[in-house]
Structure 1
Amino acid sequence: MLAAVSLSSIALLQTTAWAQEASASAGEVSSTAEDAQDARGVQDIVVTAQKRSESVNDVPMSITAIGGDDLIRQGVSSAADLVKVVPGFNYTPSAYNAPVYTLRGIGFQEGSLAASPAVTVYVDEVPIPFPAMTLGAAFDLDRVEVLKGPQGTLFGQNSTGGAINYVAAKPADTFEAGADFSYGRFNLFEGSGYVSGPLADTLHARLAVKTIQGGEWQRSYTRDDKLGNKDQLVGRFLLDWAPSDRVNFSLNVNGWRDKSDSQAVQLIAPRPQNPASPNAAPINAYPLAPENARAADWDAGRDFVHDDWYYQVSLRGDIELSDALTLTSLSAYQKFRQNVLQDRDGMDLHSLAVRSLGSAKSFSQELRLSGDMDGIKWVVGANYQDDRVNDNFALDYSDSTVNPTLGIPINSNINFAATKIKTAAVFANFEWEIADRLKLSGGVRYTDVRRRFGGCTLDNGNGEMAALYTLLSSTFRGTPTPPIAPGECGTLDSTTFLPGLVTSRLNEDNISWKGGISYEPNSDLLFYANVGRGYKAGGFPTLSATVSSQFAPVTQESVTSYEAGFKATVLDRTAQLNGAVFYYDYKNKQIRGQVPDAIFGNFEALVNIPKSRIFGVELQASIVPVEGFKTDVGVSYVDSKITDSFINYTPLVQLGDFEGEPFPYTPKWQISINSEYRFPVSSSLEAFVGGGITYQSETNGGFGQLRIVDVDNYALLDARAGVAAEDGRWTFSIWGRNLTNKYYWTNASVLNDAAFRFAGMPVTYGASLSIRI
């Protein structure tokens, strides 16, 4: 299948390159249907990547932008589905409920709730600071804009890999309503609807809701049991008020709740930490998961249902102070809670179950001025953000091989962490046309981040962990330590060996910057080159800490980016070809690893990789050779490498120097192809048929390139067909995803006594109906 994908891609790119010689002029096209050009040509999308509206093909940076209708047609309903349409994007579920987003090899493989991402998600330019909060972001959209490479100057730190900006569908000037329904395998039902229109001459509103309900798709291979129910609800209310031609306010109230089952992992291999433990025998004897997507195992009789919820309120104000000067204010408050039990050993044994208990609150305020004077488009502004996170992991490992420890049986503990983050920044950005069709652009942002942390390993109230830590403290101090009370902190100070809460601070600042040049020989062709630097903030981990040194923070990482590319509209607007080559110089990349300890052996901790780099090439092509037929192709090549000595441990706790190795979870090749043909069957009816292929090359889940944590390459095939009213009032389709029922997985890890993986969904199929009024 890979050969077919590669040949199709090469043929399409060769055709488009040849067609460049026949290029003709083109105008801008809005993402809305009423502003669209002739259906025969490729259509631009208007984006706000530079905090102003402009055609995506006029922005001198790598952007993948997809309209809301295309997202629905291609079955993109979550961030995980962006892999189908965004070259270089990767989605990885983590062991602790927070997903990991990666762009062009830059991501933070860490599942703590308070972990700042390397790719930040925005909704209408409002940052969602932590990945666990992003479940409902991809909902009722006008479009999604994926900006690649460091975006620190305009979008702030924690976007060293890029930024994902979801743009919600806005209130309409006239009454509109619509609904989308889908039913498929495993009794999966998705239903959404919206109403939109004017409430008064200057007041417009939009209300949208969505629900996902589904049955169990995972099944135990050792007993009669199933898991995998879906129960999600998402809603958004938008209110736009324009009291005058120069003043506009937009209120956005949105939220979601999730009561779905957590996904069970598949047991790859038993790896008892203590082979001499009496618990090692049942672990070693446990049957491995069959190699199919549905087979898994988990603790019988436990409730794995999420109880997670989130809401956000944001207010945007735009005031035109003059024809060339606009003041924008963007305020937001958001809150998140999670409570979910997850089985992380893939066995019906209590080797490791994790209950993620946490909460996060965030307030942000941005104020900026933008203008266009004497050929210079500019933006200056400041923002402030206050984040507060409580992150608890309640661990149950009563059947693991860590027991008994020093003669004291330990069955559970709680990893506790509380973080307060205050971020302040000022920024400026400009674009200057220094000569006809030649532009210079640049930007700078100063950011100050202040983190306060408190954390420890807590006794869960039964006194077992308290007794162990009291014994350890007394032993290393050489004098009796007063007994630690049940439910109290046991983590030992690395110097005094006294137990208690570990507190620390991390204050950092940085200057992100970017400069670029672009040349537009004609309205159909753009060349650009950019260089810039972005930062991701340091932070503290949430983990089982025996000694306080495990809570040592990682320092901020930086990426210096060099990129050159082009955007070409060719063959009388029937083809669009975008390409880029990039090189990232990476300093102090953050990752979860291990640190040695002379007394206790190895501990989990966050660590910095001193030096590494990424080299890559990316191509995107869209061709509309005849009216009604469209093909989109995306090809991404990413070569990551640790370029200096980095001594750490493999997932099997083998010491090594990993200089020369690629990053975990960073496939070299990603390819996507999506085609659709629409044709009339009567004066009021049209039919369509389409499909897509997604390919990802192999990668690995840790250092040392161990086979046990390999993530094999895979190719997935989707297809769809249906009929629609010529006026767009309704559409009916049937569809299938992963039609070859390919067995694949997106994560492979080792925790406690087991190596496990997260399997991707098996073949699914169903039907959809869309109605517009």
Structure 2
Amino acid sequence: MTSSKSTFRPLTKLTKLSLAILCATTVNSYADETAAKELEEVVVVAQKRAQSIQDVPVTISAYDGDFLESLGIGELDALSDITPGLVIQEQSPNNPGFVIRGITSDSGSSQSSPRVSIYYNGVDVSRSRGSYFELFDVEGIEVVKGPQATLFGTAASVGAISVATRKPEQDFSAQIKASVGNFAANNVSGFVTGGSDLVQGRVAFTYRARDGFIENIAGDSNSQSAGGFVQEDMHALEHVSYRPSLRITPNNDVTIDLVYTYEKNDDSGTSFKNGLYAPTGGDTSPYSFVEMSGSPLSEQVFGKEDLGVDRTVNDINLTANWNVNDNLTVTSITAQRSFDSLEVFDADGTQAWFLEFAEEAEGDQFSQELRAVYTQDKLTSIFGASYFSEDGSQAVPFSTEESIFLNCLGVLNSGVPCINSDGSVNVLTPVLTGGLASVLPYSLEFTNFGENTAYSAFADVSYKVTDALELTAGLRYVKEEKRSGYKSDAPNSVLTQAPLFTVDTAGETFYAEADYDDWLPRFNALYEINSATNVYATISKGRRSEVLEVSSTTNTQGAPAISVTEVPSELIWNYETGIKGKALQSTLDYSLAVFYQNYSNFQVSLQDEDGVAYSADAGSATNLGLEAEVRALLSDEFEVFANAAYLDAEIDDDSNNGQLAGNTFRLQPEWTFSTGLFYGTEISSSLNLTSSLIYSYRTDVFFEPENAPISGLDISQEGFGLMSARLGIASSANWSVSLFANNLLDEEYLVDAGNTGGGFGNPTFVAGAPRMFGLEFSMDFGGSNF
């Protein structure tokens, strides 16, 4: 992870102080005015050892904890605003999507594998429903682009995001930080650390809550469910997380870190706004109020009365480092992570009892890695082995009223709409049953299971052929054992005398097993043009594992039978070259990378005619792009940065690639761009002023791989830009106060569109957050942590 003296912080005393003030750190006087004006070196550990970012022959964006706190970044999706080629989509903590270089990783199925490795304290936590976590008391983040399977594992088929938390320190220090904002937002976080030569401890915590920003009128007097259950406004959140950690240092050569993280999310849910039918007294704009009443049998069918997310994550990590001698370091990482998430959502986004779903995802993961790094003269070698096991499930219960479901799908040809112009819902059951019933509740549930075990061995060797040229070759062998399962409890509908969708498995759980293996190499070359400029080239192979998908069908006798689909592994060859350097007496640094990626068996997630997601092979695809970053120290008081990424990517326009041929990838912008300015100055002998302004822009994207309208509605987002700002004052007495605003210009934009409702011909649209602003106060105690 990035060194504590890295990204976007110059060495000059004034600017170093200015950025630190935003985090309310202890400040120094400006005694040393003769300090050289230059940007600090960025140190990363992407290659399992500390290196200057300039000496690493891959494309990396790196941020230390000080920088993240100076911008108020506490959520993963905010990294999108400052990182070229990265888009993080967050519908909810249960459903994040990670996009690197236009390639999305967001499947919630237990039977498919991620494409982007999310590393937390050196451990892969990439399973979608368990990968979200709060960013607090963070040491640093590295975003590594391109296949990184050799050192990061097979989930890093297109890249990796690695987060490291701050570790205990011997000297006592503590911090408390609190903020308030619009939508009744409040946040309290802090840490305390200290210890002895032998044992040091640290406890960090965060609590973050906010009301919803999309009004939900369900249950109100002006709704169709007046007097019924009152739903919360959408996108409200309540997150609590704490992290006790212990460091044991029996001698100078051995360090043992034990870190436990607990996280609890209780959110009101996502505003899936129907694009065809308006709420009572409203319209179909994604940014206006909704009338999402959910199922009247929610407690009975889903186990949760209200819409929203109830999610718990437990993570424990034991890392031991042993410096055997000056040349050899051995590292062991043992980790256990579990998550349990229940999300109840109104997939049709209307007042109708139509598409009411929940998702209950559970997962238990265990991993063990042992590696050795040997360095001598011109040779650096890394050898290791790892074991990973995962046992997960994804249950999807469903609730509807039969006549509403069939009428809203247009199956009944009733001549009456799903929802009338006054907002009332047509319930046709009394007519269809001759008055025998007023409503016909219907529910079903299907579940997929995944048991995955992976064994890996890897080696990576770098050799300095000359003082200027270093060559690297790496190889990982991976063997996977997969067991996929599926069961469905889908009773017959009264009106159709058949399940409304899916095939009932008659109480049986179907299973299939398969083993897979592969070799994943990388080859790098780094050439030092001069002491300030390096160029590099890399060839690497990435792999997204085969999908062993099990579901149900009917045999020739009409009885339930197992259906097994094997989607071949998605293979990526990445060819990349770039330059990294410093200029103007180290007051400016820059990087530029150009890459070409070739995909075979490109995996996509589609929906069948019943709206059920499934994996498919879309054939070949190519991705050509460039990424650039620059930062500059303009004076003691000003620092700026800018970055940009360009992508020309699509599923190849080849008839062999079927209906998706020629389409761009889901959530893939052609251009992303961001720029920022930091300014800080002394305003008195004891007070300092600091500020930052960040602007980010991305071009239009499609939200579905089909790149096509659904029911006549456009499923895309036009290009848009977001701006954030902070203005703070800090005292030499170790306190600070600052004003902040995110989405300062109150831009309207979509987070997603289509969604589950789109599979049933009722596309829904999810609004992004409006302007969020507030006031933050922080106070430090004891020594400085930074």
Task: Give TM-score, length-normalised by structure 1.
Answer: 0.84
Aligned to 2:115: 118
2:697 matches 1:695: yes
Aligned to 2:170: 173
* Greater displacement, 43-52 / 398-407: 398-407
Task: Give TM-score, length-normalised by structure 2.
Answer: 0.83
Aligned to 2:762: 754
Whichever residue aligns with residue 730 of structure 2, its letter is A
User: Structure 2 matches for 1:337-376, cutoff 5 A?
Assistant: 337-376=340-379
Query: Partners of 2:158 and 2:186 in 1: how far apart?
Result: 34
User: Structure 2 matches for 1:96-107, cutoff 5 A?
Assistant: 97-107=94-104
Query: Partners of 2:200 and 2:27 in 1: how far apart?
Result: 19
Q: Displacement, 1:51?
A: 0.5
Aligned to 1:635: 644
2:223 matches 1:216: no
Aligned to 1:11: none
Query: 8 Å contact 1:456–1:502 — kept in the other structure?
Result: yes
Query: Partners of 2:544 and 2:606 in 1: how far apart?
Result: 18
Query: Partners of 2:280 and 2:102 in 1: how far apart?
Result: 36
Q: 1:505 to 1:465 in 2, by over 3 A?
A: farther
Q: Displacement, 1:540?
A: 4.5
Query: Partners of 2:288 and 2:112 in 1: how far apart?
Result: 30
Q: Displacement, 1:531?
A: 0.5
Whichever residue aligns with residue 671 of structure 2, its letter is W
The partner residue of 1:521 within 529, 534, 541 is 529
Q: 1:107 to 1:638 in 2, by over 3 A?
A: same
Q: 1:188 to 1:34 in 2, by over 3 A?
A: closer
Aligned to 2:338: 335
Query: Partners of 1:464 and 1:39 in 2: how far apart?
Result: 77
The partner residue of 1:412 within 417, 431, 443 is 443
Query: Partners of 2:610 and 2:209 in 1: how far apart?
Result: 46
Aligned to 1:69: 66
Q: Displacement, 1:137?
A: 4.9
Output one character per residue of 1:517-576: Cα deviation in whole Å (capped at 9) or x when no partner: 111122321110001101111235588977767652422211100010111111111111
Aligned to 1:722: 728
Output one character per residue of 1:91-127: Cα deviation in whole Å (capped at 9) or x when no partner: 2346993211010012235233554211111112111
Q: What percentage of residue pairs aligned between the two structures are identical?
A: 24
> SS of the residue aligned with 1:70?
helix
> SS of the residue aligned with 1:708?
coil
Aligned to 1:662: 664
Aligned to 1:430: 461
Aligned to 1:731: 736
Q: Displacement, 1:490?
A: 4.5
Aligned to 1:442: 473
The partner residue of 1:295 within 264, 270, 289 is 289
Query: 8 Å contact 2:27–2:732 — kept in the other structure?
Result: no
Whichever residue aligns with residue 716 of structure 2, its letter is D
2:328 matches 1:325: yes
Query: 8 Å contact 2:610–2:760 — kept in the other structure?
Result: no
Query: Partners of 1:601 and 1:471 in 2: how far apart?
Result: 11
Q: Displacement, 1:670?
A: 0.6
* Greater displacement, 251-260 / 302-311: 302-311
Aligned to 2:573: 560
Query: 8 Å contact 1:264–1:344 — kept in the other structure?
Result: no
Aligned to 2:717: 711
> SS of the residue aligned with 1:80?
helix
Please list every run of 5 or more consecutive structure 2 residues that lacks an aligned counterpart in the other structure.
Answer: 1-19, 223-230, 297-304, 413-431, 434-439, 555-559, 782-786
Query: 8 Å contact 1:697–1:714 — kept in the other structure?
Result: yes
Whichever residue aligns with residue 747 of structure 2, its letter is K
The partner residue of 2:544 within 536, 559, 577 is 536
The partner residue of 2:485 within 425, 437, 454 is 454
2:592 matches 1:579: yes
User: Structure 2 matches for 1:602-613, cutoff 5 A?
Assistant: 604-613=613-622
Query: 8 Å contact 1:264–1:297 — kept in the other structure?
Result: no
Root-mean-square deviation (CA, aligned residues, Å) is 3.1
Q: 1:647 to 1:264 in 2, by over 3 A?
A: farther
Query: Partners of 2:753 and 2:91 in 1: how far apart?
Result: 10
Q: 1:259 to 1:704 in 2, by over 3 A?
A: closer
Q: Displacement, 1:594?
A: 4.9
Q: 1:268 to 1:369 in 2, by over 3 A?
A: same
> SS of the residue aligned with 2:151?
helix
Q: Displacement, 1:741?
A: 1.2
Query: 8 Å contact 1:94–1:110 — kept in the other structure?
Result: no
Whichever residue aligns with residue 133 of structure 1, its letter is G
Query: Partners of 1:724 and 1:691 in 2: how far apart?
Result: 18
Query: 8 Å contact 1:438–1:520 — kept in the other structure?
Result: yes
Query: Partners of 2:487 and 2:36 in 1: how far apart?
Result: 60
Output one character per residue of 1:448-474: Cα deviation in whole Å (capped at 9) or x when no partner: 111101103223xxx44699787999x
> SS of the residue aligned with 1:400?
helix
Query: 8 Å contact 2:94–2:132 — kept in the other structure?
Result: no
Q: 1:67 to 1:741 in 2, by over 3 A?
A: same
Query: Partners of 2:406 and 2:563 in 1: how far apart?
Result: 22
Aligned to 1:273: none
Aligned to 1:266: 273
Query: Partners of 2:327 and 2:456 in 1: how far apart?
Result: 25
The partner residue of 1:742 within 720, 743, 747 is 747
Query: Partners of 2:38 and 2:688 in 1: how far apart?
Result: 19
Q: 1:389 to 1:471 in 2, by over 3 A?
A: closer
The partner residue of 2:316 within 294, 313, 316 is 313
Q: 1:338 to 1:267 in 2, by over 3 A?
A: same
Query: Partners of 1:565 and 1:619 in 2: how far apart?
Result: 9
User: Structure 2 matches for 1:128-167, cutoff 5 A?
Assistant: 128-167=125-164
Output one character per residue of 1:294-337: Cα deviation in whole Å (capped at 9) or x when no partner: 53331167502422101111111112222211221110011111
Query: Partners of 2:549 and 2:698 in 1: how far apart?
Result: 30
Whichever residue aligns with residue 360 of structure 1, its letter is G
Query: Partners of 2:36 and 2:275 in 1: how far apart?
Result: 50
The partner residue of 1:626 within 623, 631, 635 is 635
Query: 8 Å contact 2:170–2:197 — kept in the other structure?
Result: no
Query: Partners of 2:246 and 2:92 in 1: how far apart?
Result: 38
Query: Partners of 2:533 and 2:521 in 1: how far apart?
Result: 26
Query: Partners of 1:173 and 1:471 in 2: how far apart?
Result: 63
Whichever residue aligns with residue 235 of structure 1, its letter is Y
> SS of the residue aligned with 2:357?
strand
Q: 1:126 to 1:499 in 2, by over 3 A?
A: closer
> SS of the residue aligned with 2:103?
coil
Query: 8 Å contact 2:510–2:550 — kept in the other structure?
Result: no
Query: Partners of 1:166 and 1:601 in 2: how far apart?
Result: 39
Query: Partners of 2:682 and 2:287 in 1: how far apart?
Result: 39
The partner residue of 1:83 within 80, 85, 90 is 80
Whichever residue aligns with residue 41 of structure 1, its letter is E
> SS of the residue aligned with 1:322?
coil
Output one character per residue of 1:142-197: Cα deviation in whole Å (capped at 9) or x when no partner: 11111111010000001111111001111123111112222111011111110011
Aligned to 1:236: 243
Query: 8 Å contact 1:679–1:688 — kept in the other structure?
Result: yes
Whichever residue aligns with residue 59 of structure 1, its letter is V
Whichever residue aligns with residue 299 of structure 1, its letter is S
Q: 1:544 to 1:303 in 2, by over 3 A?
A: farther
Q: 1:745 to 1:254 in 2, by over 3 A?
A: same
Q: Displacement, 1:502?
A: 2.4
Whichever residue aligns with residue 148 of structure 1, its letter is K
Query: Partners of 1:221 and 1:635 in 2: how far apart?
Result: 41
